[in-house]
Every structure is written in structure tokens, then in C-alpha cells.
Structure 1
Amino acid sequence: MDIFGIKALLICALIFIPFEHLFAERPQKIFRKGFAVDLIYLLFNGFIIKLAIVMMAAGALGAAALLVPQAITHAVSGQPVWLQVAEIIVITDVGVYWTHRAFHKIPALWKFHAVHHGIEELDWLGAFHNHPVDAIVTKAISLTPIFFLGFSEASIAVFSTLYLGHTLLVHSNVRIPFGPLKWLIASPQFHRWHHANQREAYDKNFAGQLPFLDVLFGTYNPTGDKVPEKYGVDDPIPSTYFGQIGYPLLRRRKLPNRAVPNAEA
């Protein structure tokens, strides 16, 4: 069993490294700043998050057996897989949207999420650069309803594969026009402007996969073809893995600007 995701890492690298070379948004080295730290995130965080998901699934399935009528779970799991996957995408992204927004708006939570925003050079590997607390809380809120409602294992497996590939894509250093689909499917341009360290980008574009959620809730940032000037945060984030893991526990005299409620959001 590949508990650390070595095979997945190699497959993703073989796909995205050439992809980023051919369609690069901006010139960037493969072994860019923070590359080694992000490898650690992928390997060790991946194991921790997988373990947390297994525990969440077991708890949700146990609770569902007691609280949810079998007629409901059978009806949900009996739908065509494609329909289940579409429903899972909507349900999970609503959870991702509001959890993500909370991590920006609540200063105590922002300390954990700032680790992800500390990335100064975006690429596919940066998708794994998340504090474990941030990642586990987001997974718990977005996935628990899926396990609770009884979606089939096949549909969850298909969704998981699509979600991983899409998450890597939106973080990747590529420039691909999505055309009218940009309102339906999150693009690298959409998410790039979530990571931009510029005032007009703060507290915008929270959705993971469905940009219309930001349109619906007033947090969409229509950037056109503009390229952000820079990424990262104003607060100095430690450069090491363990420094970043402990970063939310440090006392700081000034909170980052992103933690300050934005009257436009």
C-alpha cells in the first residue's frame, strides 16, 4: 500500500512538469523556492490527511446507520455514478467555500491558512502546501455529508480523482483560457487571483471548483487576463516545514491584512 503517495507523486510530476513548461504563465524553475518543503507536505501531510479521512468516514457511516433511513442512503447510492459525482461536487464545494471563507475571516483560523498563502511561486506542487489543521478541518466539513448520505464508493473514487487533478491544475503555473467555462469550472487564472498578494485579491475567489458560488455570494473577482504582481503574504512565514507547522502557535504583534474583515466581501 502506497501510504505516502509516491506513485501519485510520480504520475502528477510526469503530467504537470511538461504541462507547465509548454503553457507557462510566467518563467519559473522546476526546483523553485520552497520545492523541497512542498515535497514534505505532499508525503507526510498526505498520510495524515488520509488517516483523518478514514476516521471521518468511519464515524459518519456509523452515525448514518443510526440516524439516516436506509431508504435515503439506498436512493442516493442507487443513482447513476455520473449523477452522484455531480452532486458530490456541488455539496463538497459549498462546504469548501464556507470553510475557506471562515479561514480568511476568523483571525485564529487565518493563522493556519496563511501557511498555504505563504507560497510565493505557484505551481502544481503548491496544491499540497497546506497546514494539516487547515486541510483536515476543510475535509471534515466538506466530506462528512458525502459519507453521511451514503454516496457509493465508486462515485467517491471518481470524485476524488477529479478533485485531485483539478486542484493541481488550478495551482499550476499555466495559462489556459477557459472561455465561457470560467463561470462554471475554476481555472488557474481564477485561483491565481485568490493567491495574489494585492488588495483587490483579498477575500475573493473562495470556491474550489465552482466559481459561480463566488458570483452568488458576492466574492468573485473578475480579473480578465491580468497577471498578479506577486503572491504570498505580508507576515513572514518560516521557510522550513516544522517552522510552518508551528507558525500558527506563535504570537505576533500584527495580524496579516487578509485577516481583517473586508467590507466588500
Structure 2
Amino acid sequence: MELMDLLGLQALLICALIFVPLEHILALRPQQKTFRKGLGTDVIYALVNGAFLKICIFLMAASAMYASASLVPARVTMAVSGQATWLQVTEIIILADLGVYASHRAFHAIPALWRFHAIHHGIEELDWMAAFRAHPVDQIITKAVSLLPVFFLGFSLESIAAYFIIATGHALLLHANVRMNFGPLKWVIASPQFHHWHHADQRDAYDKNFASHLAIIDALFGTFHVPGSRMPEKYGVDESIPTDYVGQHGYPFVRRTQQGRNTGDAAIKPTPEEVARG
């Protein structure tokens, strides 16, 4: 049972019972198959990388709380944890998403980081399982930037647990093969349309929609892109991303000359088009 909890198998099955029917009822692309290409790889990501990420987050939390005990006055952490749970969850969402925005934008702007993030963007058919495909370096850096302040400030365990449930469900929804209209709220809350445009392999969508929950952050920083009711024509990247689990983990560390790319400086640096991927 402990192993199943660590791997998150039960949670994954529950999510499947929710999102598989939802993708049939509100299908954005009805022709897309449930067992689409690369699904098996994403299941491995969900179970194996998911367990590894849980361990890393636990260690982050322990380290941050240990440092907080020495550096943050007790009255501050007590005031933070003493707030109503709903208010703490709201504050965590805002604080964490500012961290996600900053780290996510860095992964697009810095060539060395993009090579890790390109694994997530390599998916050409988006569905709820696509949310799990991310290189561990990408995940660890993003979680550290977004969650260490949360652990450090002393938010209650109940509010943090509630945040993780909301964040996980929202992440799966953003990647899901669904058509949902958020109306005017699209400027405030990240919608599937908002995040699908982030994955679009179309030049007008490059480097847009970095937030994971609050689209208003992108609106404030000038990176919001949701063109009316339109959806992207295609997803993916203009790079030869390996299709297998092991190959994807090694991809960021392989020189471009070994991947049939250009030689010289371009052998280790992405082209401008690749740096500007969205």
C-alpha cells in the first residue's frame, strides 16, 4: 500500500475516471485517440517521476522549515498559519504562481534550460496525461522556486495539502483535450485554451502564457495570448525530441552534433527559433 501511495497509482486511476470521460464529453479534437502516441511514456512519467518528485518536495519542505525555525520570527509563522485556510490557500496560489511564472519564463529564455523544458513541449497531442511529461531537472527547479517560499513562511499543512490538490487538478485540466469557455474570467484564471496556446507550434504564440493558475499574471507582464475563441492548429517543437522515456531524459545532455544538428556554436546552442519556442 505504501508503494502504491508513493507511486500515486490510486490517484492516477481516480484522475483517469474523471478526465477520460470529460475528454469524450467536451472533446476539443474528437478524432484524437484516448490511447494516443506516447501515452505509455507519460504513464511512466506519472508513476516513476511522480514518486521521485514527491521525495524531492518532502526534502525541500523539511529544509525550508528547518531554516525558517532559525530565520523567521515565530510571530510571523504563527500569523501566517493562523489565518483561515481558504485565505492561506489563496495566498499560496498567488505566491507559488509568481514563482512558476518566473521560472517558466527563464526555461524559455535561457537556451541551457530550454533543452530540459523542450521535453514537455515535445508532445504533439495534448491530453490530461501530457501534464506529467516533464524532465526532472525542469520539475525540481520549478518546484523549488515556487514552493520554497511557501514552506519557509510557515503556511499550515492543511492549506498546503489543499493547494496541491487544486494545483494537480488544474494542471491536468489545462492540458486536457477539452473545449471550455471561461468567458471574461479567461483574463484572470488559466484555462485549457490559455495553456494550449502556450504549447502551440505557431510563431504568434511563442513565449506566451507562462502562469499555471493565474492568467492575470501574464496579462500584467504582457505575455497573455488568447486570440478570441480560436485554438492552436498544431503543437510540439521544431526539434528532434526522442520518443522514449530514457532518451528524453538524456536529450538535454547530448551535443547537437550527435543529434544531426549544425556544427560549431550552433552545435550546443538552440537556433533563435528554438529559443523563442512557446
Partner of 1:111: 115
> CA RMSD of the aligned region, Å?
1.3
1:55-94 correspondence runs (5 A): 55-94=59-98
Q: What one-letter code is carried by the residue in structure 2 that aligns with 1:251? A: R
Deviation at 1:222, TM superposition (A): 2.8
1:235 to 209, 230, 239: 239
TM-score computed with the length of structure 2 as normaliser: 0.92
Q: What one-letter code is carried by the residue in structure 2 that aligns with 1:123? A: D
Deviation at 1:258, TM superposition (A): 5.0
Deviation per residue, 1:191-245 (Å, 9 max, x gap)? 0000000101110000000001111111111321112111000001001000000
1:226 to 220, 223, 230: 230
CA distance in 1, matches of 2:271, 2:21: 35
Long gaps (5+) in structure 2: 257-261
CA distance in 2, matches of 1:261, 1:129: 20
2:163 to 134, 159, 166: 159
1:136 to 135, 140, 149: 140
Partner of 1:195: 199
CA distance in 2, matches of 1:145, 1:129: 25
Is 1:205 the equivalent of 2:209?
yes
1:14 to 17, 20, 24: 17
Partner of 2:47: 43
Is 1:3 the equivalent of 2:18?
no
Is 1:52 the equivalent of 2:67?
no
CA distance in 2, matches of 1:130, 1:170: 15
1:116-127 correspondence runs (5 A): 116-127=120-131
Deviation at 1:259, TM superposition (A): 4.2
CA distance in 2, matches of 1:137, 1:213: 20
Aligned length: 263
Q: What one-letter code is carried by the residue in structure 1 that aligns with 2:255? A: R
CA distance in 1, matches of 2:274, 2:96: 24
**How has the CA–CA distance of structure 1 residues 12 and 261 changed in structure 2, closer, same or farther, with 3 Å as cutoff?**
closer
Deviation at 1:261, TM superposition (A): 5.4
CA distance in 1, matches of 2:53, 2:19: 23
TM-score computed with the length of structure 1 as normaliser: 0.97
1:175 to 169, 173, 179: 179
Deviation per residue, 1:72-121 (Å, 9 max, x gap)? 00000000000000000000000000100000000000000000000000
**How has the CA–CA distance of structure 1 residues 256 and 21 changed in structure 2, closer, same or farther, with 3 Å as cutoff?**
farther
Is 1:260 the equivalent of 2:260?
no
Q: Is the 8 A contact 2:242 2:251 kept in 1?
A: yes
Identity %: 60
**How has the CA–CA distance of structure 1 residues 257 and 175 changed in structure 2, closer, same or farther, with 3 Å as cutoff?**
farther
CA distance in 2, matches of 1:80, 1:258: 47
Q: Is the 8 A contact 1:202 1:258 kept in 2?
A: no
Q: Is the 8 A contact 2:41 2:245 kept in 1?
A: yes
CA distance in 2, matches of 1:19, 1:260: 34
Long gaps (5+) in structure 1: none
Q: What one-letter code is carried by the residue in structure 2 that aligns with 1:13? A: A
CA distance in 2, matches of 1:258, 1:205: 18
